Structure 1
Amino acid sequence: MKFFRKNPPQNVAGSREGSIGISASGIDNQPLTEKDYEYFFLQLLYGVTQGWDRVRVSRFFEGLQHRASYEQWVKWLRGFGENVLNLPDYNPELGQAMVQLSQVESGAIGKMSREIGEKLLQRQPPAPQQPPAAAHTPVGSNEIQVWFARGVEHLQAGDNSTALAAFDRVVELDPNNYRAWINRGNALAALGRIQQAIASYERAIALKPDFPPAWINRGDVLFDANQFQEALASWDKALQLQPHDPETWYNRGLALARGQQNWELALASFEKALQLNSDDFQAWFYRGVALAALERWQDAIASWDKALEKQPHLYDAWVNKGIAFQKLGRWADAIAANNQAITLLNSPVSPPLPSSNTLQLITVVSETDESVAVTTPPQSQSQLLEDNANLVQDNSQDSTILEKNLDTFKSPQLAALQETEIIENQEDEIKQIQSGQAFDVLVEEIQHSSSQMNIENENVENLEKENSNRKETKMNREAITLYNKGVEQYNQGDLEAALASFNAALEIESNDYDSWNGKGAVLNDLGRYEEALAAYERALEIYPEDEYAWNGKGNTLLAMGRYEEAINSYDQCLNIDPTFSFAWNGKGDALSNLGRYEEAIACYDKALEINSQYPAAYNNKGSALSNLGRYEEALECYNRTLEIIPDDPNAWHGKSKALCDLGRSQEALTCFEQAVKLNPNNYETWFNYGIALGDLSRWDEAISCWDKCLEIKPDYRQAWVNKGLAYQKIGRYGEALEANKKAQELATSSNSDSSE
């Protein structure tokens, strides 16, 4: 989950403005004026410094194309650059932001922006100007006041290097000027010199420990350095001195959530902030996030509704409402919320929420102790989010394409909300691509069901062992012949013929527990689980010490989702034969499905200790390791399988997913290609193949993969969801709505079926 700091006030009189964005009233069909171009371009630069990626930047221009073409933007930017470069001002903040834009805009605008930005950054900062009046007077209070005022002026103008020089002069003249030490810290923080900034704030605190701005600013910078516990301690001290500050309560909530995952205390802080300022839409938004983390979905929706009352164009709130509605099974409401989010994408009206790792609010102290706030310049702001993140994780992340960023935050209850989302239904998780901005695509790496992996091959081997161990008895030889024929047919994949042979054998010898086992294996592979279970139980009635029947029963219970009962069956098998590697593998699968991955890995290791050439155990261990985030170890497992069976499609699929989780999506594509070549009928592989392509923003190809998935499994709702959101990415909103409609129909049908 991405946490976002508040946007600062923009004027120096102490008033607080809302989040910077493009107002709805600014949307019309008139060509952009010169003033409009500059206004929107500065908003674009602001968005880039907040983490906008290529897709969001492209959408920015698409949203304004009815007022200005791309070529017109290029022409305007050329003139803008000439004007800026002709000005004598030293403006590294603008230069840095324009260079950042070139990293996410590869066209003519990006190239031109880089050229302008680099030229701005090559300029040298001016030497601090001598105060005109004090230059000829002895050092005294008047000179200190002049330097102090000059420092505040430059700090508010974003000229942080000059401001720092001015405040250095103040503390040189008056080492006990705690206000100057605070503002010196502000300038250092804006320049990215975090540790020096903290030291400057601490010098101010040592001089005047009862002055709240010093504690507040120290907390802000510590938060941006991910030192959450220290930030909390600093803000708590500020609140002892100034308990009615809603901003600090809000920031405290963010630190409790992000740093400690303490959702109850975070919720209490957000609620305190809202008691003091009920008009703060961001506090309402994050209150909803905290409630969602506590699985209080209805309350979370109410909180996001309050945020939307204050800020109707808050895209993220609509996205999160959709997720909460899905959690509650209210699919129609979920689709409606998502469609509302889509509507906002047609124009850049949704105000961006500032990034969590960006120093957003620092208090500039005047000589009269009045505090104002200034924006931290772009060069001290956090870098662009990378995805995948958490496609999100994330999340990625998000990861997050999913939320794979370290910045992407997950809780056990709330896999990801806000910019990195996870939407879950009763069958699967859908992981959202985190773009780091106000647009996301829901995608998922399917947790490949280990319960079905290689069970068929295990049944083949089990039947062969049973056949080789079969003792000559007084049984009818015709029954034995039919049993052996059934095993051979099973091995050839002719399941219906094998079933007929086992049934024929049982007509002759109804107490032949081996034939009951064979019948159970066939029925299991045919998906007729209740009948398979009955066959295994009949075998165990005849011979309770049959390890093969206990293992087969465990496999069927596993396929039915009855994991605890499956574990019990595997344990019964292992009590009879502790070296039964198939049972260790099956038990690991059941534990994995229960989320008990460490125990599952121990079982897979036991299976591999018994049989080091057991591909299914390597694959399943790789899946469990991936679920624990141990992707490098998972990759080793899949590679080990491929050493044994180079053409194992499950191993290629698993390896592909591990590479995606490691952010190596380009390498993953080669593995996915091999997986679908070996097994073109696996809808899960096509689905995840699409995710890897989405990671690389190759949306048309991703859609083609999801189309392949849907050819195999037309009712796979997650593929429709992802198709719809991929269409959003490329601006094909009509097709996005059609895909959403299909997903909604499938969700409604699923709900109707489950209620009958």
Structure 2
Amino acid sequence: MPATCPRCKRNVVASRPTCLYCGAPLVEKTAAGAPDNEVKRRMQKASTDPADLVAQGNAEMRAGRTESALLIYRQVLSIRPDHAPALSNTAAAFLRMGRHEESVVCATEALLANPGLAPAFANLALAWLGLGKSEAALEAWMRAQELDPRLGAPPLVALSKAFAETNAIHRAAIAALAAAKPVRARSLFMELVSRKLARAAERSDAGKRLEAIAGELARWDAAAWLSQARLMRKDGQAELAVGCFDEVLRLEPDQPEALMEKGQAAFQLGETALAANGGARDASTERWLGQALECLRKVVKRNPNDAGAWKLLGMSAFMMGRGLEAEEAMARARSLGAPGQATLSVQITGVAEGAEGGRAWLATATELAQRGETEEANRAYAKALELDPTIVEAWLERGVGLAMLGLGEDALGCFDRAVVLAPQNKRVHDYRGVCLTRLGRAEEALESFDRALELTPGDGSVIKHKGGALRALERWEEAASLFRRALQANPELTECHALLADAQEMMGQGEQAVISFERFLERSGNTISPQVTEAKQRLAALRAQKPAGAAEGARAQSKLAEAEALKAQGKLEAALHCLDEAARLDPAGPEAPFHQGNILLQLGRIAEAGQSFQEAVRRNPRLAAAWCYLGHCQMLAGQPDGALRCLDRAVALDPRDAEAWINRSNALCELGRVVEGLESAD
């Protein structure tokens, strides 16, 4: 049952340490079947780290001890009331106990803490389904699937399928009306009504059966699914076998036997569909052969000497009309074949050479890139360039693919070659500049962007990218000016509002930054992305930064003085508490977080110290000492690139700061720039 708030008398979820409405401490109620004293004793001795506690709670859930798990999650929430995973897992525990309303509340609170937590959406969907609210359940489930397509919940999958079928019938009925077929339309509408009336009964009966089946299958491991898949193949049920192989790969994504055998089964299905269709490819053929290609590419990547996999890959590619890929795979298979082995029966003919072949490989690479197969696309671009090294588009796109794979220097080589081939092409200079910026060579990037803007002076994307290079160099005013220019050139460049807000905040223009963040979020709509989440957090922080009034300012100064006295006495934890209060009283002043950072650094809590110094420079971007210590923290954390940027900022603000120059010297030496490091030390 819910706990009752002693102050406002409202019912709230018992897992919360405080009331959701008024903040008062809650009266703990012991549920029936609660853990015994031994469990509580073990919890008291357990770690107080939220992550460790959540892991313990999850273990209790897996063991079927839901009440014990719930007690552990409550302990996490007593430490961190906004701990999203603990709130989501509490919702899951309530689901298992049939307490759906409380599950809805917990899942919702988890999403308020972390809007991108897919399991919380899934738990919310199951809770709504338990309360009979199918539409709300479906909406939450769709959001969960968008965030993590690997999530599975049979009742929700069945619900999605039922809604999809109903929508298809509705569309067909509308189409029948538009085509002046009233009898057909009436029949479809009648079926639609009957489905909606029967949905509750279907859910209660079929849903229970699905849950029973899911409970059984949830206990299967990858080996069990693999055995079942092989039995299916032996019985000639290749399609069911593919489904079982999918379960193996869900549990172990790179299981080599499952990849190879799924590829074989999918190839068999594709070959059968092709024959049944008189040799013409249709959706079914492309579906199965596409799955075969996906699996077999992974097999040969894992084991490049598997002749059988190369052969099957070549045959699948040939049937899909991918002659170039088929030729390469067949050649690899022939070269790996054992001496005396029979030659492959499939021969590929008509494959173009030279420039024509290069263009054909470019088309294949583009198709692979559009499907998200970056590594395969890069191989195809390389083949295109091998046949015709003058294709500028191939150099550019291969560079983009290499950058996506984290191979920045290799990508830069591609862009350099593209510049030589097409010096009048704006894109080659733009791409090169973006690559240099990401490699930390922003000064060089500016030259590329300037060249691109000479060719197309009003290109908003290039202007934005140049602003990004200036931002990396912390030349905030120039960056802000370019972001405004980019928006004038192309108002659809929504990201520029966030980049402008970042520059304005770093220049201490809090009010303007608020406006820019609001514009960014308004134009982003319902988009879910890390950038949107960060913008919301920073906007909330900026709105909370109201200058302290006279009374609050005096109390803040008093707390700062008290913290200094406690620090002098060696009472560092007490000093931190005083500084927390000072930061709360004066949310715009940098002194409290700066002193917090110094104490945390003294305690060896490097990550927390870095966060405090980051907050200090956010509140006052011209505080040179905070930039210096932030750089020192990043050096201790093994991030010399970030440290150098902070220390460059520190010496620019205060050229007489000897400590900043020495720390900068250490960062340069760590990066291998020893001569510059010695100059900095001098």
TM-score band, normalised by shorter chain: 0.3 to 0.5
**Which structure features the higher share of helix residues?**
2
- Of the two structures, which has the highest relative contact order with CA contacts closer than 8 Å and spacing of 6 or more? 1
Taking structure 2 as the reference length, the TM-score comes to 0.36
